[in-house]
Each structure stands twice: as C-alpha cells, then as structure tokens.
Structure 1
Amino acid sequence: MESSKFFQGYGKVGDHLEDQPSFPRPPNRKPLVATISVLAILFLTLSVGATLGALIHSSNSGPPESPSTPSTANTGLDASIRTVCNVTRFPASCYSSISPLTTSLQNPNDPESILKLSLRASHNELSKLSSSLRTLASTSNAAAITDCKDHIDDALSRLNDSLLAMNVSPGDKALTDAKISDIQTWISAAVTDQETCLDGLEETESAAQGEMKQKMQRSREYTSNSLAIVANIRILLQRFNMSLH
C-alpha cells in the first residue's frame, strides 16, 4: 500500500532526507487563539459587570413594600369598641371619642375598661364646654350663660364621681351592682344638667346661643353614650363571656 511505503520511506531520514517533497507549514494559530481568548475574557467581564449591576440595583431599590395591614391585636380592639358602641344612640361618635384613648386600655376585651374611656371622653368634652362658657360669661351680662355654666360644672362633678368609683386597687371589684346603680344615676343627672343648660340658652336671644348649642351637641352625645353603656353593661359582659368582677 502506498501509505505504508510512505511511512517506511519517511523513517529513513538519513538516506533520502533531501529527496522528500516539501509540505507547506501549517498556519500559525497563535494569533487566532489569542483573539478568541481576548473576546472570551471581554464577554465574561461584561457578563459579570451586568450581573453585579443588577444585584446592586436590586439591593438599592429593595422589594416593593406590601400594604400595611392592621395587627391582630388592633383588629380585636376595634371590634371590641364597636361591639360596645353599638348599644348607644350615637355609635359613630362613641367610636371616634374612645379610639384616641385606647393607649391606656389594659384589657381590650373588657367592656368595663371601654366604659371608663367613654366617661373620660365625656368629661374631657364637658371641660372644654365649661371653659368656653366661662370665657363667654366674662364678656356677657346674660344670666342664662352663667346659669348654663353652673349646670355644666355640676355635670362635670357627676362624671368625676363616676370615674372615681371605677378607680380601684388591683384585685378589687371595679363594678358591682351598687356601683352600676350609682354611676347610672350620676350620668343621668349629667345628661339632665346639659338639657337644662340648653333650655336656658334657647330662652335668651344671646348671639352666642347658636355657638354654644353646636359645642354642646358633642358633649351631649358623649354623655348619652356613657349612659347607654353603663345601662347595658351586664348584657355586654355576657357578650364578652365575662361577669361582674
């Protein structure tokens, strides 16, 4: 075979070296390899840079914030207040007056604690009304204004008695049958005081009559709410699976 003869002849280097045909030298591949290597390194560098850039952007921007949702505790407190306020004539004003005071609420599922906050809201609103009447009485000669202020101050005293009755030492009974009866009587008197004040203002032609009636509307609603809560406190305790302490 010719290929066998070729390799046999190629093995005799010393005899026929000059007689061998000259073959073209294989092309030098080093420049091509170098070019491919450079391109590969460049591609790898660009890929790493793009990846790092994406990671940095993701880190800076952060995940989109999920909408805030009320905690379970806040949801339970909200439901408790609404349950209590639903026994009143003015549930919306009841809820709005109690909600800002809940930071001091020890037990959100205790109607007695919510009643106490309602009384505080009523007392605070009547204090504002008394201050307005004091200022008005100093600039007006209308006897009805002074008389109205006296009734509001008496209503404040009744609400203060109610709050004091609910301030007890740890372990003592916050509400008893006797206390419920007393508080209900005191709040009823506070409601009557405000009605008497309003009746006196309506009999005058004072320019402040409209302003005072508007300010008194909120205090009347708050006091009415407190009266409704204490009147239904036993039913509310049953709804919360509780009993008088």
Structure 2
Amino acid sequence: MDSLKMFKGYGKIERDHHKIEDQQRNPKSQISKPLITTTISALGILFLTLTFAFALASIVHHRTTDSQQLRNSADYIRVVCNVTRFPAACLAAIPSSANATDPQTILALSLRASLDALQNLSSSLGATKGGALADCKDQLDDALSRLNDSLSAAAALNDKAVSDVQTWVSAALTDQQTCLDGLEEVGDVAGLEKMKKMMKRSYEYISNSLAIVANIRNLLSHFNMTLH
C-alpha cells in the first residue's frame, strides 16, 4: 500500500519535473498577457509619434521652400527693375507673389501690365469722333496692337524676337507721345494735362518694359542664363 502511494507520488513529481522542463524549453509560455498588451500599446504610440513628426517635418519643409521661392522671386524682380527708369512702378507692376525667377518671365509680366494699363486708358476715352482726342484714340489702339505682338514674341525669346519686341515697345511709347503732341498742337491745355495724368501709369510701365528688353541679354548673363 505504501509502495503504491510512493509510486503515485513519484509519478506526480516526475510529471511536475517534466512540466518545469517544458516551461524552461518554451519561455514564451511564461510571457503574460499584460506584458503583450503593454508592448503593443508602446509600439502603437511610437508609430503615431513618428507619423506626426514626419507630417510636421513635411509641413515645415514645404513652408520653408515656399518662403525661399518668394525671396528668390523678389531678388530677381528687384535686380531687373533696377535697370528701368521707374523702378517703383516696375515693382508695383510685378509683385513678388508672381514667383518670377528669370528675366524673360519678368519681361512678359511687365508687358502684360503695360497692355492692361493701356487698355484701361484707351477704354476711358470712349468712342471719340474727330479732333485731337480721336487721334489719341487711334494712336493708343496702334500701341495696343504693338504690345500684343510684343507679348506674343516674349513667350519664346530669341535674338530676332528681342529685336522685334524692342522695336514694337519703342513704337508703342512713341504712339503715346504722339497723342500728347497732338493735344499740345491744338492748344488743348486742359486736355493735355488730363491726358498726361491718365497716361502716367501706362507710360511708365511701357518705358520699363522697353528698358528690360533693351537690357535682357545683360540681365540673363547676370543670372547665368541664356535666351530660350
């Protein structure tokens, strides 16, 4: 009887011994569920932190790049406008927000501003018939045609296009002066002074465009660029 108890006890000890050995061979079985949960939570927090950091870095980089582009644009525009007779008007016509970073683009923007200003001037004269004002309207319409041609040519500047644009813009400037000369010849002092004031913006813009195209090669060389 005692022998049987001892045998049963021995069997229990042996089974316990095998269980200990199995646990030693399989340490994973000893990892508790709370530890697994904690590890997963930590990894999740780490992932979210890295994701947020990456997103924040991307936003900062994007804003820095945009700021750098605007600063470069302002630098380009300032250098180009410095060759004109009316730099303040040039800067007003070509804001830094235009993000123009080469002289050819700045020339095109200056021509566009000139065209818009002259169009507004021409429209303000209405449908005049006869007299010096009618002659002025004809001169301004001719100048508009020349500026339109100049703007088209500025889209793909080469040596010939530069020469053409310079000729057309110069002619547009002459058209405005011819308008003023006509008013002066007929003795319309009031009309002359009024026209001078109305013409101030378009005259300055066109004059600036002429200065830019006349210096386009030097400007391109300054920025280590060439004609397209």
User: Would you say the 8 A contact 1:109–1:240 is kept in 2?
Assistant: no
Tell me what 1:226 maps to.
Answer: 209
> Aligned pair 1:109/2:91, yes or no?
no
Indicate yes or no: 2:144 matched with 1:156: yes
Say whether the 8 Å CA contact 2:115–2:147 is kept in structure 1. Answer: yes
TM-score by length of 2: 0.67
After superposition, give the CA deviation of every residue in 1:74-115 in whole Å (9 maximum; x if it has no partner).
11111110100001111110110111871xx5xx22100000
Alignment-derived partner of residue 194 in structure 1: 176
Q: Alignment partner of 1:71: what SS? A: helix
Alignment match, 1:178: 160
Mapping 1:34-183, distance limit 5 Å: 71-99=67-95, 102=98, 108-134=100-126, 137=128, 143-167=131-155, 174-183=156-165
Question: What amino acid does structure 2 have at the position aligned with 1:89?
Answer: R
Bigger share in helix? 2
Residue 210 to residue 221, structure 1, CA distance change in 2 (3 Å): same
Structure index of larger Rg: 1
**How far did 1:183 drift?**
0.5
Q: Is the 8 A contact 2:111 2:151 kept in 1?
A: yes
Contact 2:83 2:215 in 1 (8 A): yes
Q: Percent identity between the aligned chains?
A: 59
1 CA distance for matches of 2:199 and 2:206?
11
| Separation of aligned partners in 2, 1:212 and 1:151 | 13
Q: Could you list the runs of 4 or more consecutive aligned residues of structure 1 that deviate by over 4 angstroms after TM superposition? A: none
Is structure 2 residue 201 aligned with structure 1 residue 205? no
Indicate how the Cα distance of structure 1 residues 230 and 162 shifts in structure 2: closer, same or farther if over 3 A, else same: same
Q: Which runs of 5+ in 1 are unaligned?
A: 1-68, 168-173
In 2, Cα distance between equivalents of 1:101 and 1:151: 33
Distance 1:206 1:146 in 2: 16
Spell out, residue by residue over 1:140-192, the C-alpha distance to the aligned partner (whole angstroms, 9 max, x if none).
x6x0000011001100000000111133xxxxxx2110110011000010011
For structure 2, the residue ranges without an aligned partner over 5 or more in a row are: 1-63
Which amino acid in structure 2 is aligned with residue 205 of structure 1?
D
Change (3 A) 1:194 1:101: farther
Encode CA deviations 1:108-137: one digit per residue, 9 max, x unaligned: 2210000000000000000011011225x2
Tell me the equivalent position of 1:49: none
Question: Displacement of 1:207 after TM fit?
Answer: 3.8
Contact 2:114–2:206 (8 Å) recurs in 1: yes
